[in-house]
Amino acid sequence: MSLVTPDFGLLFWMTLIFAIVFFVLAKWGFPAITGMVDKRSERINESIEKAREAEKMLSEMAERQAAMLEETRAEQGRILREAAQARDAIVTQAKQQAQDEAAKILDHTRTQIAAEKEAALQDIRCEVAALSVDVAEKILRDKLSDSKTQMDLVTRMVDEITKPAKPS
């Protein structure tokens, strides 16, 4: 029964040992444990603060990324608009140059056709003149086959040349 009801001596020594252990723990153990708990608490708080800062930085980076993405899209749209305008300008300029070149070629062709037409007409006139001279020569040979007719023609021509021109 001594376990259920301890003696006064046992209680004294148990109390004394408890006080010594409590004193040693209070003097050196509890401050070390409390210091470690405080350090751990500080590290946890620092980690939480760093996590908040990291989260804040991530949100700022996400906002900057969104802004950069929007800016990039706007720049892309601007570049595409400028490229379309440049393409339209080049196409318009090429069409204008093609029209100008076609007009030059058409004018040159018209000029060349007119020159060739004039040359052909000149050739035809020369041919007609040559044919007329040949025909006149043949007619004159037939009419002037005798010398009396020839002399009459020469006299008449000399008279026409020597007569003064009539005033009109």
- Per-residue pLDDT of 14-27, as tens digits, reads 999 999 999 998 89
- Per-residue pLDDT of 50-65, as tens digits, reads 999 999 999 999 999 9
One-letter amino acid for residue 29 of the chain: G
**Residue 133: band (very low, low, confident or very high) from pLDDT cuts 50, 70, 90:** confident
Nearest to 152 by CA among 163, 164, 140: 140
How many angstroms from the chain centroid is the CA of residue 63? Answer: 31
**Residue 142: band (very low, low, confident or very high) from pLDDT cuts 50, 70, 90:** confident
How does DSSP classify residue 13? Answer: H
Measured CA to CA, the distance from residue 81 to residue 88 in angstroms comes to 10
CB 132 within 8 A of CB 126: no
pLDDT value at position 1? 47
> Does residue 130 have a pLDDT over 70?
yes
Residue whose token pair is 């070390």: 32
> Does residue 10 have a pLDDT over 70?
yes
